[in-house]
């Protein structure tokens, strides 16, 4: 079963705009990870945030984590057409328990 | 650095046939995962290996699915016999160690279509 639930399911924006995707989960976690998947390809790790962290940055990516609300958000700033992909959050509750959500399909129009 | 290799990339079979997928993880990665990704959904873990031992196969449909990693390096996943609902992308991933939620490196996947 999947733990994380991404919102929205699909998002369409213009190049240069910011894209925000949210992930909610139900149980306590050790860390939460975000992955990107281009059409027909495998997943690529973007960023990992631990349960004792509130915010992390990587280039144009900003991830926040609110463990009290059991939610995380991924912000992509100044989006590009190449950012078009599906984005998944994965919650890690224990060493053997990593669960992916259903993903957000992001389309960035040139 | 070479990534995770998978073959074949595509496979079309009829229901009740058998099929096998192969994965070669990144050199030195001790942990290997097989996921099933149905269209429109996120990956679902089927089985996790630590070297050549099974760590978690709780979501593997053992009546038809089997997997092995005999020498602790490459791995095969088999479906016998296949059902229509097995149509999906089968992803292999590997991580260097066993720490909590290590970054996983994914292969390109094998797209299986069962007719």
Quote the pLDDT of residue A95: 66
Quote the pLDDT of residue A97: 74
> Mind listing the pLDDT tens digit for each residue in A7-16?
899 999 999 9
Checking if the pLDDT of A24 tops 70, the result is: yes
- Site from B42, B60, B111 to mutate, A interface, most A CB atoms within 10 angstroms: B42
Please give the residue that has the higher pLDDT: either A2 or A95.
A95
Q: Which of A2, A41, A102 sits opposite B108 (nearest CB)?
A: A41
Interface of B with A in 10-29 (CB under 8 A): none
Quote the pLDDT of residue B71: 86
Contact A102, B42 (CB under 8 A): yes
Under the banding of pLDDT at 50, 70 and 90, the label for residue A93 is confident
Checking if the pLDDT of B26 tops 60, the result is: yes
If you average pLDDT over every residue of chain B, what do you get?
A: 92
Query: Helices in A26-81 by DSSP H: which ranges?
Result: none
> Mind listing the pLDDT tens digit for each residue in B70-88?
888 999 999 999 999 999 9
**B104 near A CB under 8 A:** yes
What letter would DSSP give residue B65? E
* Percent of the residues in chain A that have a pLDDT greater than 70, as a whole number: 95
Query: DSSP string spanning B67-97?
Result: EE-TTSS-EEEEESS--GGG-EEEEEEEESS
Mind telling me how many Å the CA of A100 is from chain B's nearest CA?
Answer: 6
Quote the pLDDT of residue B100: 54
Under the banding of pLDDT at 50, 70 and 90, the label for residue A54 is very high
Quote the pLDDT of residue B102: 76
**B103 near A CB under 8 A:** yes
Q: Percent helix, strand and coil across chain A, each rounded to 5?
A: 5, 60, 40
Average pLDDT over residues A41-55: 94
Checking if the pLDDT of B99 tops 70, the result is: no
d(CA B77, CA B105): 18
Checking if the pLDDT of A1 tops 60, the result is: no
Q: Which of B41, B55, B107 sits opposite A102 (nearest CB)?
A: B41
Checking if the pLDDT of A101 tops 80, the result is: yes
Mark yes or no for CB contact A96/B91 under 8 Å: no
């Amino acid at each position: 079963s999947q733990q994380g639930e991404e919102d929205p399911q699909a998002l369409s924006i213009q190049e240069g705009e910011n894209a925000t995707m949210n992930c909610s989960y139900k149980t306590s976690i050790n860390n939460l990870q975000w992955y990107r998947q281009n059409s027909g390809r495998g997943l690529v790790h973007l960023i990992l945030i631990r349960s004792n962290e509130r915010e992390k940055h990587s280039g144009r990516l900003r991830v926040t984590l609110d463990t009290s609300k059991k939610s995380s958000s991924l912000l992509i700033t100044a989006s590009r057409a190449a950012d078009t992909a599906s984005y998944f959050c994965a919650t890690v509750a224990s060493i053997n328990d990593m669960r992916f959500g259903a993903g957000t399909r992001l389309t960035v129009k040139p | 650095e070479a990534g995770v290799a998978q073959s074949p990339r595509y496979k079309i079979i009829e229901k009740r046939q058998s099929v096998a997928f192969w994965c070669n993880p990144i050199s030195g990665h001790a942990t290997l995962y097989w996921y099933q990704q149905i269209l429109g959904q996120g990956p679902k873990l089927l089985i996790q290996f630590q070297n050549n031992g099974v760590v978690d196969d709780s979501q593997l449909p053992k009546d038809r699915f089997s997997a092995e990693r005999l020498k602790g390096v490459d791995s095969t996943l088999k479906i016998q016999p296949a059902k229509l609902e097995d149509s999906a992308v089968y992803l292999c991933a590997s991580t260097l160690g066993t720490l909590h939620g290590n970054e996983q490196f994914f292969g390109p996947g094998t797209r299986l279509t069962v007719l």
